[in-house]
Structure 1
Protein backbone atom coordinates (compact mmCIF):
# COMPACT_ATOMS: atom_id res chain seq x y z
CA UNK A 1 0.00 0.00 0.00
CA UNK A 2 1.44 3.35 -1.06
CA UNK A 3 1.64 6.18 1.45
CA UNK A 4 -0.46 9.15 0.27
CA UNK A 5 1.67 11.98 -1.09
CA UNK A 6 -0.18 14.53 1.03
CA UNK A 7 0.66 12.59 4.20
CA UNK A 8 4.35 12.35 3.23
CA UNK A 9 4.42 16.07 2.49
CA UNK A 10 2.86 16.82 5.89
CA UNK A 11 5.54 14.75 7.67
CA UNK A 12 8.35 16.45 5.76
CA UNK A 13 6.88 19.88 6.49
CA UNK A 14 6.53 19.05 10.19
CA UNK A 15 10.15 17.86 10.45
CA UNK A 16 11.34 20.93 8.55
CA UNK A 17 9.44 23.27 10.85
CA UNK A 18 10.71 21.46 13.94
CA UNK A 19 14.30 21.77 12.74
CA UNK A 20 13.87 25.43 11.88
CA UNK A 21 12.25 26.17 15.23
CA UNK A 22 15.08 24.42 17.05
CA UNK A 23 17.74 26.34 15.13
CA UNK A 24 16.13 29.69 15.87
CA UNK A 25 15.98 29.56 19.64
CA UNK A 26 14.08 32.28 21.43
CA UNK A 27 16.32 33.71 24.15
CA UNK A 28 13.63 36.22 25.10
CA UNK A 29 13.22 35.03 28.69
CA UNK A 30 16.94 35.46 29.35
CA UNK A 31 16.92 38.84 27.62
CA UNK A 32 14.18 40.18 29.91
CA UNK A 33 15.78 38.82 33.09
CA UNK A 34 19.09 40.43 32.14
CA UNK A 35 17.51 43.81 31.41
CA UNK A 36 15.88 43.83 34.84
CA UNK A 37 18.81 42.57 36.91
CA UNK A 38 22.01 43.77 35.19
CA UNK A 39 22.97 47.44 34.86
CA UNK A 40 24.46 49.05 31.76
CA UNK A 41 27.80 48.96 33.59
CA UNK A 42 27.50 45.21 34.16
CA UNK A 43 26.69 45.24 37.87
CA UNK A 44 24.61 42.19 38.73
CA UNK A 45 21.68 42.18 41.14
CA UNK A 46 21.91 38.60 42.39
CA UNK A 47 19.05 39.11 44.84
CA UNK A 48 16.96 40.20 41.86
CA UNK A 49 17.87 37.03 40.00
CA UNK A 50 16.78 35.08 43.06
CA UNK A 51 13.43 36.89 43.05
CA UNK A 52 13.08 36.05 39.35
CA UNK A 53 14.22 32.46 39.80
CA UNK A 54 10.97 31.01 38.44
CA UNK A 55 11.60 32.66 35.06
CA UNK A 56 15.28 31.83 35.28
CA UNK A 57 14.53 28.13 35.73
CA UNK A 58 12.19 28.24 32.75
CA UNK A 59 15.17 29.36 30.72
CA UNK A 60 17.39 26.61 32.16
CA UNK A 61 14.78 24.04 31.14
CA UNK A 62 14.54 25.61 27.70
CA UNK A 63 18.31 25.43 27.24
CA UNK A 64 18.41 21.84 28.47
CA UNK A 65 15.64 20.76 26.11
CA UNK A 66 17.06 22.50 23.04
CA UNK A 67 20.78 21.70 22.70
CA UNK A 68 22.58 22.80 19.54
CA UNK A 69 22.42 20.46 16.56
CA UNK A 70 25.25 19.81 14.12
CA UNK A 71 23.49 21.76 11.38
CA UNK A 72 23.26 24.95 13.43
CA UNK A 73 25.28 27.89 12.16
CA UNK A 74 28.35 29.05 14.06
CA UNK A 75 26.43 32.16 15.15
CA UNK A 76 23.57 30.07 16.55
CA UNK A 77 26.01 27.90 18.48
CA UNK A 78 27.94 30.90 19.82
CA UNK A 79 24.77 32.60 21.02
CA UNK A 80 23.50 29.43 22.70
CA UNK A 81 26.72 28.54 24.51
CA UNK A 82 27.60 32.09 25.61
CA UNK A 83 24.10 32.56 27.02
CA UNK A 84 24.30 29.15 28.69
CA UNK A 85 27.68 29.88 30.27
CA UNK A 86 26.53 33.22 31.67
CA UNK A 87 23.14 31.94 32.83
CA UNK A 88 24.61 28.94 34.63
CA UNK A 89 27.26 31.14 36.24
CA UNK A 90 24.39 33.20 37.67
CA UNK A 91 22.82 29.97 38.90
CA UNK A 92 26.06 28.93 40.61
CA UNK A 93 26.24 32.24 42.46
CA UNK A 94 22.61 32.39 43.60
CA UNK A 95 22.75 28.75 44.69
CA UNK A 96 25.58 29.74 47.05
CA UNK A 97 24.62 33.33 47.85
CA UNK A 98 25.64 35.35 49.83
CA UNK A 99 29.37 35.22 49.11
CA UNK A 100 32.17 37.66 48.34
CA UNK A 101 33.76 35.81 45.45
CA UNK A 102 33.06 32.89 43.14
CA UNK A 103 36.31 31.45 44.49
CA UNK A 104 34.61 31.02 47.88
CA UNK A 105 32.87 28.05 46.23
CA UNK A 106 34.86 24.82 46.13
CA UNK A 107 35.93 23.96 42.57
CA UNK A 108 33.38 26.35 41.02
CA UNK A 109 34.38 25.78 37.40
CA UNK A 110 34.75 22.00 37.62
CA UNK A 111 31.53 21.42 39.53
CA UNK A 112 28.95 19.59 37.41
CA UNK A 113 25.72 21.22 38.53
CA UNK A 114 23.50 21.59 35.49
CA UNK A 115 22.15 19.36 32.73
CA UNK A 116 21.86 19.94 29.01
CA UNK A 117 19.93 17.29 27.14
CA UNK A 118 20.13 15.07 30.23
CA UNK A 119 23.93 15.26 30.52
CA UNK A 120 25.66 16.87 33.51
CA UNK A 121 28.07 19.68 32.67
CA UNK A 122 30.48 22.09 34.35
CA UNK A 123 31.36 25.64 33.37
CA UNK A 124 34.85 24.51 32.41
CA UNK A 125 33.37 21.99 29.97
CA UNK A 126 31.32 24.73 28.32
CA UNK A 127 34.29 27.06 28.06
CA UNK A 128 37.18 24.77 27.18
CA UNK A 129 35.54 21.84 25.39
CA UNK A 130 32.87 23.74 23.47
CA UNK A 131 33.22 27.53 23.25
CA UNK A 132 36.98 27.76 22.75
CA UNK A 133 36.82 25.06 20.08
CA UNK A 134 34.53 27.27 17.99
CA UNK A 135 37.63 29.28 17.09
CA UNK A 136 36.31 32.67 18.16
CA UNK A 137 38.72 34.52 20.52
CA UNK A 138 36.17 37.28 21.17
CA UNK A 139 34.17 34.88 23.38
CA UNK A 140 36.56 35.79 26.19
CA UNK A 141 34.95 39.23 26.35
CA UNK A 142 31.40 37.90 26.42
CA UNK A 143 31.48 35.10 29.00
CA UNK A 144 31.56 36.23 32.60
CA UNK A 145 32.99 34.55 35.71
CA UNK A 146 30.99 36.69 38.17
CA UNK A 147 34.06 38.73 39.09
CA UNK A 148 34.98 42.40 38.84
CA UNK A 149 38.00 41.93 36.56
CA UNK A 150 36.02 39.79 34.11
CA UNK A 151 34.40 41.41 31.10
CA UNK A 152 31.09 42.88 32.19
CA UNK A 153 27.87 40.91 31.92
CA UNK A 154 26.08 42.25 28.85
CA UNK A 155 22.53 43.02 29.88
CA UNK A 156 21.06 41.55 26.70
CA UNK A 157 20.80 38.02 25.38
CA UNK A 158 23.01 36.92 22.52
CA UNK A 159 21.22 35.75 19.39
CA UNK A 160 22.38 34.42 16.05
CA UNK A 161 21.52 37.83 14.59
CA UNK A 162 23.36 40.05 17.07
CA UNK A 163 26.25 37.89 18.27
CA UNK A 164 28.92 39.04 15.81
CA UNK A 165 28.26 42.76 16.32
CA UNK A 166 27.95 42.24 20.08
CA UNK A 167 31.27 40.39 20.30
CA UNK A 168 32.98 43.15 18.34
CA UNK A 169 31.56 45.88 20.59
CA UNK A 170 32.22 44.03 23.84
CA UNK A 171 35.82 43.27 22.81
CA UNK A 172 36.53 46.91 22.06
CA UNK A 173 34.84 48.05 25.25
CA UNK A 174 36.84 45.63 27.38
CA UNK A 175 40.22 46.44 25.87
CA UNK A 176 39.64 50.18 26.27
CA UNK A 177 38.20 49.92 29.78
CA UNK A 178 40.82 51.44 32.14
CA UNK A 179 39.44 49.40 35.05
CA UNK A 180 40.43 46.20 33.28
CA UNK A 181 43.29 47.28 31.01
CA UNK A 182 45.72 50.18 31.33
CA UNK A 183 47.13 51.14 27.95
CA UNK A 184 48.84 54.54 27.79
CA UNK A 185 51.83 55.98 25.97
CA UNK A 186 53.98 55.09 28.99
CA UNK A 187 52.42 52.03 30.60
CA UNK A 188 50.76 48.80 29.46
CA UNK A 189 49.08 46.57 32.03
CA UNK A 190 46.56 44.29 30.39
CA UNK A 191 44.13 41.71 31.73
CA UNK A 192 45.49 38.29 32.59
CA UNK A 193 42.94 36.94 30.12
CA UNK A 194 45.54 37.73 27.45
CA UNK A 195 48.04 35.53 29.27
CA UNK A 196 45.74 32.67 30.26
CA UNK A 197 44.33 32.29 26.75
CA UNK A 198 47.22 33.56 24.61
CA UNK A 199 46.89 30.57 22.27
CA UNK A 200 43.34 31.63 21.39
CA UNK A 201 44.56 35.00 20.11
CA UNK A 202 47.01 33.43 17.66
CA UNK A 203 44.71 33.68 14.67
CA UNK A 204 45.92 34.23 11.09
CA UNK A 205 49.46 34.96 12.21
CA UNK A 206 48.38 37.32 14.98
CA UNK A 207 49.30 37.22 18.66
CA UNK A 208 47.73 38.80 21.75
CA UNK A 209 49.51 42.10 21.14
CA UNK A 210 48.32 42.46 17.56
CA UNK A 211 44.83 41.37 18.61
CA UNK A 212 44.73 44.09 21.28
CA UNK A 213 46.05 46.69 18.85
CA UNK A 214 43.13 46.05 16.50
CA UNK A 215 40.83 47.53 19.16
CA UNK A 216 42.97 49.68 21.46
CA UNK A 217 42.72 53.46 21.15
CA UNK A 218 46.37 53.65 22.25
CA UNK A 219 48.52 51.07 20.48
CA UNK A 220 51.02 48.86 22.29
CA UNK A 221 54.44 49.67 20.92
CA UNK A 222 57.35 51.16 22.87
CA UNK A 223 55.88 51.72 26.32
CA UNK A 224 58.43 51.71 29.13
CA UNK A 225 56.44 49.43 31.44
CA UNK A 226 54.53 46.33 30.41
CA UNK A 227 52.80 43.64 32.44
CA UNK A 228 49.48 42.23 33.62
CA UNK A 229 46.95 43.74 35.98
CA UNK A 230 46.10 42.04 39.25
CA UNK A 231 42.89 40.08 38.79
CA UNK A 232 40.09 41.12 41.13
CA UNK A 233 37.86 38.13 41.92
CA UNK A 234 35.37 40.19 43.97
CA UNK A 235 31.75 39.49 43.12
CA UNK A 236 30.46 41.78 40.35
CA UNK A 237 27.50 43.23 42.23
Structure 2
Protein backbone atom coordinates (compact mmCIF):
# COMPACT_ATOMS: atom_id res chain seq x y z
CA UNK A 1 0.00 0.00 0.00
CA UNK A 2 2.84 2.38 0.92
CA UNK A 3 4.57 1.60 -2.37
CA UNK A 4 1.33 2.29 -4.25
CA UNK A 5 0.97 5.70 -2.55
CA UNK A 6 4.55 6.61 -3.46
CA UNK A 7 3.95 5.58 -7.07
CA UNK A 8 0.78 7.64 -7.26
CA UNK A 9 2.58 10.66 -5.76
CA UNK A 10 5.39 10.38 -8.30
CA UNK A 11 2.84 10.10 -11.12
CA UNK A 12 0.99 13.21 -9.93
CA UNK A 13 4.22 15.21 -9.71
CA UNK A 14 5.26 14.06 -13.18
CA UNK A 15 1.90 15.00 -14.68
CA UNK A 16 1.99 18.37 -12.93
CA UNK A 17 5.48 19.14 -14.24
CA UNK A 18 4.50 18.04 -17.73
CA UNK A 19 1.38 20.22 -17.58
CA UNK A 20 3.46 23.22 -16.52
CA UNK A 21 5.86 22.60 -19.39
CA UNK A 22 3.00 22.38 -21.86
CA UNK A 23 1.40 25.54 -20.51
CA UNK A 24 4.72 27.34 -20.77
CA UNK A 25 5.26 26.13 -24.32
CA UNK A 26 1.79 27.28 -25.29
CA UNK A 27 2.51 30.63 -23.72
CA UNK A 28 -0.31 30.49 -21.19
CA UNK A 29 1.98 31.23 -18.25
CA UNK A 30 4.81 33.76 -17.96
CA UNK A 31 7.39 31.46 -16.31
CA UNK A 32 7.97 33.90 -13.49
CA UNK A 33 8.56 36.90 -15.73
CA UNK A 34 6.97 40.20 -14.63
CA UNK A 35 3.81 41.19 -16.47
CA UNK A 36 2.65 44.77 -16.15
CA UNK A 37 -0.46 46.10 -17.82
CA UNK A 38 -0.66 49.39 -19.66
CA UNK A 39 -3.02 51.61 -17.68
CA UNK A 40 -4.90 54.19 -19.74
CA UNK A 41 -2.93 55.75 -22.60
CA UNK A 42 0.64 54.57 -22.99
CA UNK A 43 3.22 57.34 -22.86
CA UNK A 44 6.86 57.22 -23.89
CA UNK A 45 9.21 57.79 -20.98
CA UNK A 46 12.41 56.57 -19.38
CA UNK A 47 11.30 57.75 -15.95
CA UNK A 48 10.04 55.66 -13.03
CA UNK A 49 12.07 52.59 -13.95
CA UNK A 50 14.82 50.79 -12.07
CA UNK A 51 16.73 50.39 -15.34
CA UNK A 52 16.96 51.93 -18.79
CA UNK A 53 18.03 49.15 -21.13
CA UNK A 54 20.57 49.93 -23.85
CA UNK A 55 19.32 48.50 -27.16
CA UNK A 56 21.97 50.21 -29.34
CA UNK A 57 23.57 46.94 -30.55
CA UNK A 58 20.23 45.69 -31.85
CA UNK A 59 19.47 49.11 -33.32
CA UNK A 60 22.72 49.10 -35.32
CA UNK A 61 22.01 45.59 -36.68
CA UNK A 62 18.48 46.55 -37.73
CA UNK A 63 19.71 49.68 -39.50
CA UNK A 64 22.28 47.59 -41.34
CA UNK A 65 20.25 44.54 -42.34
CA UNK A 66 16.56 45.56 -42.56
CA UNK A 67 15.13 47.72 -45.34
CA UNK A 68 12.44 50.33 -44.81
CA UNK A 69 9.93 47.87 -46.29
CA UNK A 70 10.76 45.37 -43.54
CA UNK A 71 12.59 42.83 -45.72
CA UNK A 72 15.54 41.26 -43.96
CA UNK A 73 19.05 40.28 -45.04
CA UNK A 74 19.42 37.07 -43.05
CA UNK A 75 22.73 36.43 -44.77
CA UNK A 76 23.89 39.80 -43.43
CA UNK A 77 22.72 38.91 -39.93
CA UNK A 78 24.55 35.61 -40.28
CA UNK A 79 27.80 37.48 -40.93
CA UNK A 80 27.11 39.62 -37.86
CA UNK A 81 26.02 36.72 -35.65
CA UNK A 82 28.69 37.54 -33.05
CA UNK A 83 27.14 40.98 -32.52
CA UNK A 84 23.64 39.50 -32.46
CA UNK A 85 24.73 36.96 -29.84
CA UNK A 86 26.35 39.73 -27.78
CA UNK A 87 23.09 41.66 -27.74
CA UNK A 88 21.08 38.61 -26.71
CA UNK A 89 23.64 37.79 -24.01
CA UNK A 90 23.20 41.34 -22.74
CA UNK A 91 19.43 40.86 -22.48
CA UNK A 92 19.84 37.40 -20.93
CA UNK A 93 21.99 38.81 -18.15
CA UNK A 94 19.35 41.33 -17.15
CA UNK A 95 16.65 40.47 -14.62
CA UNK A 96 13.31 42.06 -15.57
CA UNK A 97 11.22 42.84 -12.50
CA UNK A 98 8.22 44.84 -11.38
CA UNK A 99 10.66 47.66 -10.63
CA UNK A 100 10.94 48.15 -14.39
CA UNK A 101 8.44 50.50 -15.99
CA UNK A 102 5.84 49.10 -18.36
CA UNK A 103 7.60 51.03 -21.13
CA UNK A 104 10.92 49.30 -20.43
CA UNK A 105 9.25 45.89 -20.23
CA UNK A 106 7.44 46.36 -23.54
CA UNK A 107 10.61 47.45 -25.34
CA UNK A 108 12.65 44.66 -23.75
CA UNK A 109 10.29 41.81 -24.66
CA UNK A 110 9.49 43.10 -28.17
CA UNK A 111 13.19 43.46 -29.01
CA UNK A 112 13.98 40.11 -27.39
CA UNK A 113 11.27 38.35 -29.40
CA UNK A 114 12.39 39.90 -32.68
CA UNK A 115 16.11 39.34 -32.11
CA UNK A 116 15.57 35.72 -31.05
CA UNK A 117 13.42 35.13 -34.14
CA UNK A 118 16.19 36.49 -36.36
CA UNK A 119 18.69 34.24 -34.55
CA UNK A 120 16.41 31.23 -35.09
CA UNK A 121 16.31 31.89 -38.84
CA UNK A 122 20.06 32.54 -39.01
CA UNK A 123 20.80 29.24 -37.26
CA UNK A 124 18.59 27.39 -39.77
CA UNK A 125 19.42 29.46 -42.85
CA UNK A 126 18.69 28.95 -45.65
CA UNK A 127 15.07 28.00 -45.01
CA UNK A 128 11.92 28.73 -46.93
CA UNK A 129 9.75 29.32 -43.88
CA UNK A 130 9.95 29.55 -40.11
CA UNK A 131 7.26 26.87 -40.05
CA UNK A 132 9.83 24.40 -41.40
CA UNK A 133 11.81 24.75 -38.15
CA UNK A 134 10.75 22.23 -35.51
CA UNK A 135 9.39 23.79 -32.33
CA UNK A 136 9.96 27.33 -33.57
CA UNK A 137 7.50 28.81 -31.08
CA UNK A 138 7.27 26.07 -28.46
CA UNK A 139 10.83 25.06 -27.59
CA UNK A 140 12.58 26.86 -24.74
CA UNK A 141 15.30 28.70 -26.62
CA UNK A 142 15.21 32.23 -25.11
CA UNK A 143 17.49 32.69 -22.12
CA UNK A 144 16.64 35.16 -19.37
CA UNK A 145 18.78 34.62 -16.29
CA UNK A 146 18.43 30.95 -15.39
CA UNK A 147 15.17 30.49 -17.32
CA UNK A 148 14.54 29.20 -20.82
CA UNK A 149 11.43 30.67 -22.43
CA UNK A 150 9.79 29.88 -25.74
CA UNK A 151 8.90 32.51 -28.34
CA UNK A 152 5.27 31.52 -27.80
CA UNK A 153 5.73 32.06 -24.08
CA UNK A 154 6.99 35.60 -24.63
CA UNK A 155 4.16 36.45 -27.00
CA UNK A 156 1.24 34.80 -25.23
CA UNK A 157 2.38 34.58 -21.63
CA UNK A 158 3.85 38.07 -21.37
CA UNK A 159 3.25 40.56 -24.18
CA UNK A 160 -0.41 39.71 -24.84
CA UNK A 161 -1.15 40.10 -21.13
CA UNK A 162 0.18 43.67 -21.03
CA UNK A 163 -3.06 45.21 -22.33
CA UNK A 164 -1.38 46.67 -25.43
CA UNK A 165 -2.73 45.04 -28.62
CA UNK A 166 -0.39 47.08 -30.80
CA UNK A 167 2.34 44.58 -29.89
CA UNK A 168 0.86 42.37 -32.63
CA UNK A 169 2.17 44.84 -35.20
CA UNK A 170 5.60 45.12 -33.55
CA UNK A 171 6.68 41.49 -33.13
CA UNK A 172 7.79 39.79 -36.32
CA UNK A 173 7.53 36.09 -37.20
CA UNK A 174 9.97 36.25 -40.14
CA UNK A 175 7.19 35.79 -42.69
CA UNK A 176 5.83 37.77 -45.63
CA UNK A 177 2.38 38.27 -44.07
CA UNK A 178 3.78 39.38 -40.72
CA UNK A 179 3.94 43.06 -39.85
CA UNK A 180 7.27 44.33 -41.13
CA UNK A 181 10.31 44.25 -38.88
CA UNK A 182 10.93 47.85 -37.85
CA UNK A 183 14.51 48.83 -38.73
CA UNK A 184 15.14 50.43 -35.37
CA UNK A 185 15.08 49.08 -31.84
CA UNK A 186 12.09 49.77 -29.61
CA UNK A 187 12.94 51.93 -26.62
CA UNK A 188 11.01 53.21 -23.63
CA UNK A 189 11.74 56.75 -24.79
CA UNK A 190 9.81 56.22 -28.05
CA UNK A 191 7.63 53.16 -27.39
CA UNK A 192 4.22 54.79 -27.86
CA UNK A 193 5.19 56.56 -31.08
CA UNK A 194 6.83 53.42 -32.42
CA UNK A 195 3.81 51.22 -31.67
CA UNK A 196 1.53 53.82 -33.23
CA UNK A 197 3.65 53.96 -36.38
CA UNK A 198 3.80 50.22 -36.96
CA UNK A 199 0.05 49.86 -36.29
CA UNK A 200 -0.92 52.61 -38.73
CA UNK A 201 1.53 51.29 -41.34
CA UNK A 202 0.30 47.71 -41.02
CA UNK A 203 -3.41 48.43 -41.10
CA UNK A 204 -3.10 50.81 -44.05
CA UNK A 205 -0.53 48.69 -45.87
CA UNK A 206 -0.75 45.87 -48.37
CA UNK A 207 -1.38 43.18 -45.73
CA UNK A 208 -5.00 44.39 -45.63
CA UNK A 209 -7.49 45.30 -48.37
CA UNK A 210 -9.84 47.60 -46.52
CA UNK A 211 -13.04 49.04 -47.94
CA UNK A 212 -16.38 49.96 -46.48
CA UNK A 213 -18.42 46.94 -47.52
CA UNK A 214 -16.11 44.01 -48.33
CA UNK A 215 -12.90 44.26 -46.28
CA UNK A 216 -10.24 41.56 -46.58
CA UNK A 217 -8.01 41.79 -43.55
CA UNK A 218 -4.93 40.07 -42.18
CA UNK A 219 -5.40 36.72 -40.49
CA UNK A 220 -3.66 38.22 -37.46
CA UNK A 221 -7.09 39.58 -36.51
CA UNK A 222 -8.48 36.03 -36.79
CA UNK A 223 -5.61 34.54 -34.77
CA UNK A 224 -6.11 36.93 -31.81
CA UNK A 225 -9.69 38.28 -32.03
CA UNK A 226 -10.13 38.83 -28.28
CA UNK A 227 -7.18 41.23 -28.16
CA UNK A 228 -8.80 43.89 -30.34
CA UNK A 229 -11.30 45.74 -28.19
CA UNK A 230 -13.22 48.98 -28.15
CA UNK A 231 -14.52 50.13 -24.76
CA UNK A 232 -13.64 46.74 -23.30
CA UNK A 233 -15.57 44.68 -25.85
CA UNK A 234 -14.17 42.71 -28.78
CA UNK A 235 -14.69 44.71 -31.97
CA UNK A 236 -12.19 44.08 -34.75
CA UNK A 237 -13.78 46.39 -37.31
CA UNK A 238 -13.93 49.37 -34.97
CA UNK A 239 -10.38 48.71 -33.80
CA UNK A 240 -9.21 48.82 -37.41
CA UNK A 241 -11.26 51.98 -38.00
CA UNK A 242 -9.27 53.75 -35.27
CA UNK A 243 -6.21 53.59 -37.52
CA UNK A 244 -7.49 53.06 -41.05
CA UNK A 245 -7.84 55.85 -43.59
CA UNK A 246 -10.81 53.92 -45.03
CA UNK A 247 -13.60 53.03 -42.60
CA UNK A 248 -15.40 49.69 -42.48
CA UNK A 249 -19.20 49.77 -42.27
CA UNK A 250 -20.76 48.38 -39.11
CA UNK A 251 -22.69 45.72 -41.06
CA UNK A 252 -19.74 44.63 -43.23
CA UNK A 253 -18.57 41.01 -43.12
CA UNK A 254 -14.89 40.59 -42.35
CA UNK A 255 -12.98 38.29 -44.66
CA UNK A 256 -9.48 37.11 -43.83
CA UNK A 257 -6.54 36.92 -46.22
CA UNK A 258 -4.51 33.75 -46.53
CA UNK A 259 -1.32 33.98 -44.48
CA UNK A 260 1.93 33.79 -46.43
CA UNK A 261 4.52 32.05 -44.24
CA UNK A 262 7.36 32.36 -46.74
CA UNK A 263 10.50 34.00 -45.38
CA UNK A 264 10.56 37.81 -45.38
CA UNK A 265 14.05 38.03 -46.83
CA UNK A 266 15.54 40.58 -49.18
Q: What's the secondary structure of 2:215's corresponding residue?
A: strand
Task: Give the match for residue 262 of structure 2.
Answer: 234
Farther-moved stretch of structure 1 (106-115 vs 53-62): 106-115
Q: Over the residues paired in the alignment, what is the CA RMSD in angstroms?
A: 1.7
Farther-moved stretch of structure 1 (28-37 vs 113-122): 113-122
CA contact (8 A) 1:213 1:219 kept: yes
CA contact (8 A) 1:37 1:46 kept: yes
Distance 2:86 2:255 in 1: 43
CA contact (8 A) 1:22 1:66 kept: no
Go from structure 1 to structure 2 and tell me whether the alpha carbon gap of 1:141 and 1:24 turns closer, same or farther (over 3 Å shift): same
Distance 1:190 1:210 in 2: 13
Verify: 1:125 aligned to 2:143, yes or no: no
Kindly indicate whether structure 1 or structure 2 has the higher relative contact order, using CA contacts under 8 Å at least 6 residues apart: 2
Verify: 1:29 aligned to 2:57, yes or no: yes
Count of aligned pairs between the two proteins: 217
Distance 2:50 2:171 in 1: 23
What CA deviation, in whole Å up to 9, does each residue of 1:142-165 have, x standing for no partner? 000000000000000000011111
Distance 1:80 1:192 in 2: 26
Stretches of structure 1 that go unaligned for 5 or more consecutive residues are 1-19
Task: Give the match for residue 184 of structure 1.
Answer: 211
Alignment counterpart, residue 95 of structure 1, candidates 123, 131, 140: 123
Alignment counterpart, residue 115 of structure 1, candidates 139, 143, 152: 143
Stretches of structure 2 that go unaligned for 5 or more consecutive residues are 1-47
Task: Give the match for residue 138 of structure 1.
Answer: 166
Task: Give the match for residue 175 of structure 1.
Answer: 203
- State the TM-score, normalizing by the size of structure 1: 0.87
What CA deviation, in whole Å up to 9, does each residue of 1:64-104 have, x standing for no partner? 01132211111110000000000000011111111000011
